[in-house]
Homo-oligomer: A and B are copies of this chain.
């Protein structure tokens, strides 16, 4: 799995039928120790209510279609958890 931070949502007026009703979020991957190494931006489906700015856990590939309601969706990446960020005086996971 990978860690990322939600940037914003995107909209597609024209799309595959199986994509209807699915929330699509742009997420910046945080997979490098140095924040300066530009993280890749990907798009993930969200079923658990992630908000902009939140730190999320992402799963890729066929694992993304294990969730109820996504069995037939043409998605290859979903948000499976909102990561609990540590208090500032303990040190953040990223930043």
Contact A66 B60 (CB under 8 A): no
Please report whether the interface of chain A is mostly helix, strand, loop or mixed according to DSSP. mixed
Q: Which residue of the partner chain B has the closest CB to A2?
A: B42
Q: Does A61 contact B (CB under 8 A)?
A: yes
Contact A63 B75 (CB under 8 A): yes
Copies in the complex: 5
Residue numbers in B under 8 Å from A82 (CB-CB)? 12-15
Q: Point out which of A63, A74, A77 has the most chain B C-beta atoms below 10 A from its C-beta.
A: A74
Q: Given A11-B83, A12-B83, A16-B48, 11 other A-B contacts at CB below 8 A?
A: A3-B41, A10-B84, A10-B93, A11-B84, A13-B84, A15-B57, A16-B67, A19-B81, A37-B38, A43-B57, A63-B75
Name 16 interchain pairs, CB-CB below 8 A, sorted by A: A1-B44, A3-B10, A10-B57, A11-B84, A12-B57, A14-B82, A15-B82, A30-B41, A31-B40, A31-B41, A32-B38, A32-B40, A33-B39, A33-B41, A59-B74, A59-B75
